[in-house]
Structure 1
């Protein structure tokens, strides 16, 4: 990752990045994902949705997934989630988020224990 800085006494205990320095990749037209540093425990991501976009397929979870809505509004399972909303999906769940207004979400997918 660009500008990834391991810190701590042995340089393995902490990683610091600025998310805007992580190169975004287009998942679908109008949806950009930045894959944040991962460990064997979890992986993080930042997703920007343009207004009127929908995740390209149903997202199924083998493990727990969480996201926090930073801005805009995410419509997920018929519910509207605005800024400050924290959503947790259990293993075995599935969803297909969309937005009418545009949105930015920060997420964490837990890995198998």
Structure 2
């Protein structure tokens, strides 16, 4: 297979969102070895429960400002949550985040 055939490209704004919680939607992204998703948070939205995960979780704040564990992360921030960490993301102003996990 040629390298050109090994690429799947999607535009986030063309993916049909899935409701996760009030004010939070998920956009499923393609991937095999890594689970990739985008989440859109409306202003004032907070993840419905504390998020615990057994593996690394990588988050890129693509737009807006994410608030997590009492710290604000503006667009352009990259977060690495270590295995067995806990957090509960939210936003006061709205945010789009890209999340990458294993499994």
- TM-score where L is the length of structure 2: 0.91
Q: Which 4+ stretches in 1 moved above 3 angstroms? A: none
- How big is the shift at 1:71? 1.2
Alignment equivalent of 1:107, drawn from 96, 99, 102: 99
Q: What's the secondary structure of 1:51's corresponding residue? A: coil
Which residue does the alignment assign to 1:30?
23
Q: Once superposed, what is the RMSD of the aligned Cα atoms?
A: 1.6
Paired residues in the alignment total 103
Which of 1 and 2 has higher RCO (CA within 8 Å, sep 6+)?
2
Any unmatched runs of 5+ in structure 1?
1-7
Q: Which has the higher helix share?
A: 2
Output aligned runs, 1:3-14, within 5 Å: 9=2, 13-14=6-7
Aligned pairs (5 A) from 1:1-113 = 9=2, 13-39=6-32, 41-111=33-103
- Compute the TM-score of the two structures, normalised by the length of structure 1: 0.84
Distance 1:63 1:35 in 2: 19
* Secondary structure of the structure 2 residue equivalent to 1:88: strand
